[in-house]
Structure 1
Amino acid sequence: MKRLVVVGGGNAGTLIANLLADKLEVTVIEPNEYHTYQPGLVDYITGEVDENKIKMPTSSLLKPSVKWVRSKATKIMPENRTIISESGEKFEGDYIVIATGGQNIPVHSLRGYHTIEDAKMIKNEVMNPRGKSFVIGSLPGIIKCPAAPWELSFLIKRKYPDANVSVIVPAKQPPPLQVPMSNMFNKKANELGIKVYKGFVIQEVNYNERYAVSTEGEKIAFDHLIIDTPISTGFSELADKSGLIPVDKSTLAYKDGVFVIGDANSTPTPKTGAAAHFQAEVVANNILAEIEGNRSKESYDGTAICAVYSGPNEGMLVWLNYEKSKALGPTSIYRYMKKAFTRLYWASLSGGVDFILKPLVESIRKS
């Protein structure tokens, strides 16, 4: 039986391990005891859900035949498909899948909010505010989800209607594929009275006097500063200048037999859970095509979707691939979709919601 070693037990790593568990000898190297549903962290930060709703034991999410090694991978040797763990143990595979996610780079003492630990600190500020001025945004570079700062600003404004909420966007103009999303979010921000600063790149943060200064000298005062920072891979020796691991954007291959899926790769598509899910499915199919020879190989086309809260009873939906994008809503349907997926996510890690997900994506693509 062919061997697969998966580095990382997050969304993409767990899914591909489960999809191939009955066909290959699968080992997952993952140090964390609990798996976090990252899109649910905005619900957690704003007090909509408890921590136990957005995390599950890693062991409970992997099929019984998958071997889970609770350890951190410290070295990846793609040339001979070998992984070394922090204990010095060596793992060799016929196939290697790197699914380590992206780690936020601390800048100006800002850390992002994509772990339970970081989200707890921000939740404490949001639930116990010292003042009414919230500045939310991101730094230049690749962030986990371009929609997340907007969504958080909408939720905080809903929670505190009298608050002064601002969004800072480092780019003066969005990339072409993000124009529909940007237009929709800017319109909603205007409706809610949220001020948007475009082209604001943080150069300095004064925490004592509570203000941030841009590279152009513009100053914004804040009581609470919530900024997402760029991500990079923990394996810098494999990374390109983006800080992530380069792959063929269609096959997601780094080298023959070595694939990178999810946030760790440098594909030009937003880092969303849906993108990681679809990438895992493509790679799983193509590994089986090589082994069994009874199916056609597939190509990943950049498909990603993201449902976003935008108001008390409404939500928005962003869909895109490598070629085009759509921004839909606001409507109550997309809010319900976002809420529902907090529960459905756990089933998705075994491919259990594809009978819903795939037709939905196809209908949006054709609409």
Structure 2
Amino acid sequence: MHKHLLVTGGAGFIGSNFVNYWHEKHPQDKIIVLDALTYAGNRQNLINLENSPNFFFIHGDICDRPLVDNLLEAEKITTIAHFAAESHVDRSILTPSTFIQTNIIGTFTLLESFRHYWQKQNQPSAYRFLHVSTDEVYGSLKAHESAFKENTPYAPNSPYSASKAGSDHLVRAYYHTYNLPTIITNCSNNYGAYHFPEKLIPLMCINILLGKSLPVYGDGQNIRDWLYVKDHCSALDVVLNKGKEGETYNIGGNNEVKNIDLVELICQIMDEIAPNLPVKPANQLITYVKDRAGHDRRYAIDSSKLQKELGWKPKATLESGLRSTLQWYINNQQWWQPLLSTDYQKYYQQVYGTFK
């Protein structure tokens, strides 16, 4: 059966990678993107699909219930892939209210709309509500603790992760209360093309290209598990086609690395592949800054359930994924240059202080 997908947040980083991936892999499926085009959403991310007869873009808000109701009916949606979220921890510390609105109220609005629509269609078993979430809902790990599993208790530490935890609980409740065919995925830190410049990897890459300081929080020993975004998309494909409703699947890249080691590796690769860097070697630009409030020490995802039950595994190594990502930023300066706006500079100074 051909799917009719509604992809929320489909002009954002992970969402647009998923839309491009899905269109290439399943060209017969219809994709409707609903995106509010806040600062991190960008129509340029979907430019390759503009002329496709199976792709439609709607500029709108997931909190707009009548809009969502109409879309589900008019487009005969069978699958919601829900990416729309405010996702940057630093911004959640500065302005938590937008995170509560989008991540909790927005998810609730989509669930209610999908529930009524699904019930009206006589509850088709093939319909799916895929909720894309984060490993940050599980809190922080100590160095010796084993990686997060699907049954790890929730312990969110920032307004961002608390809002995602709230949305996960709603999705789970709609499965258990109404039998709505939902699936939750919790992924580790993604990286790849179309990533907004505030996030660690694109920030370091762009600052190296501009000869600016590379701000590293605290002592740089915070550990993250990095997942190449194309591997994430292939995992979501497997989950949508083979996953069981009501289940949660953790998606990780099996690439745990300290922030400072990651930044050093980015510097090495950039020294090698970027022409005419203003400062070389780039690691001279590394600058330690005051630690982030409530900064989780370590995240690590155990994705063995997904690997054993559905047969998925990541293809990229950290080195191979980083190389192709950094090369993309070098080749696509016209994509990120306009994003370094006055608002962005103001935000950057709020978070990191003033640098050269």
TM-score normalised by the shorter chain: which range applies? 0.3 to 0.5
Of Structure 1 and Structure 2, which has the larger fraction of its residues in strand?
A: 1
Structure (1/2) with the larger helix percentage = 2
TM-score by length of 1: 0.37
Normalized against structure 2, the TM-score is what?
Answer: 0.38
